[in-house]
Amino acid sequence: MSQAGRVPVLAFWRTEPLPVAIRNLCAANVNDIAQGRDNALTAAGVPCISGNTYALVVYAVDTNPGATWAGRARLVRYKLSQFTDSATDEGDQSTGYANPLRSAEYTFQQWPYRLEGSAAVNRQTVADDVSDTRPLGTPTAAENPIQTLVDFVDSRGAVIVDANGVVTSGVTLSCDEFVANDQTGNPDPSTIAGALSPPIANNPNNVYGFYACVRGGGVGNSNISGVNQDVVLTIVGNVAGKGGFPKAEAADEETRVYRLSPLQTRVLVRGVVRKQG
């Protein structure tokens, strides 16, 4: 997912059912599973009991030019699943996949690392223990290709334009509503920085055609862990590149925009893992 011109915005874990062939293998070995006996499935970390596995999903804005896409930017999605689409046995796992909750001491926040003493160990490249038989290494594009969801996304930052579509001033985005208080009742600085995604510091080209406000996005001293997060997603289109709207005009290219009105939605994250009662 890391590439110049591509800005990750939103990442989350979601559950997805095991592939049919893997579910059939689980059913064929149900006696071992019920009696807690180790076999190839348990060694490979196949979650036969739950029947579901975790997948990491990342949404990003891609501004790289290409012959296929005509707009200024596009919304893309990357998914790292435990099993490949064509999986037929427990060995057909995506390279570099590591179950974020394989052990009780692992958390979503620390993935892909685990602590070994005082050192952080990358679980994508180092096995968890001697029984861990999953394929190690860096995830490959062939196994987990990036998918383009929509073209003609705006590549600019938030701006104010006049009646002629000319930029008159820039706008500094803020997610003040999502800033949590610390233990003393004051705004937690880490949640101020983490509420906006992508953070301004990590987005030098000011690409905000798609951005998110995330409650609890920072890791700090705020007393909000263990509760459901909510997220506001905003996407801004730009017709530059379509017929009648040139993508590259002339000297005024950087001041004239063909932006569309923002679309916005709010999502409540309803995960139940390690939530407070």
Please state the φ and ψ torsions of residue 105, each to the nearest 5 degrees: -85, -5
Bridge partners (DSSP) of residue 76 are 60, 148
pLDDT, tens digit, for every residue of 11-66?
A: 999 999 999 999 999 898 877 766 666 678 887 888 888 899 999 999 999 998 77
Q: How many CB atoms lie within 10 A of CB 108?
A: 14
Q: List the structure tokens of 134.
A: 């999953």
> What pLDDT does residue 218 have?
52
Band the pLDDT of 216: cuts 50, 70, 90.
low
pLDDT digits (tens, 9 = 90+) for 251-261: 455 555 677 77
Strands 159-161 and 167-170: antiparallel
Q: If pLDDT is split at 50, 70 and 90, which confidence band does 83 have?
A: very high
How high does pLDDT run on average in the chain? Answer: 81
Listed in sequence order, the DSSP H helices in the chain are: 20-28, 30-34, 40-43, 189-195
The tokens describing 198, both together, are: 């992508």
- Which pLDDT band, with edges at 50, 70 and 90, does 250 fall under? very low
Examine the pLDDT at 222 and tell me if it is beyond 50.
no
pTM of the model: 0.82
pLDDT grade for 221, boundaries at 50, 70 and 90 = very low
Where do the DSSP E strands lie in 81-206?
113-116, 119-122, 147-153, 159-161, 167-170, 196-197
Predicted confidence band at 271 (pLDDT cuts at 50, 70, 90)? Answer: low
pLDDT at position 123 is 94
- Per-residue pLDDT for 91 more than 50? yes
Confidence of residue 241 (pLDDT cuts 50, 70, 90): confident
pLDDT for the residue numbered 268: 84
pLDDT in tens, 145-197: 999 999 999 887 666 666 666 665 556 677 877 776 666 667 676 677 778 88
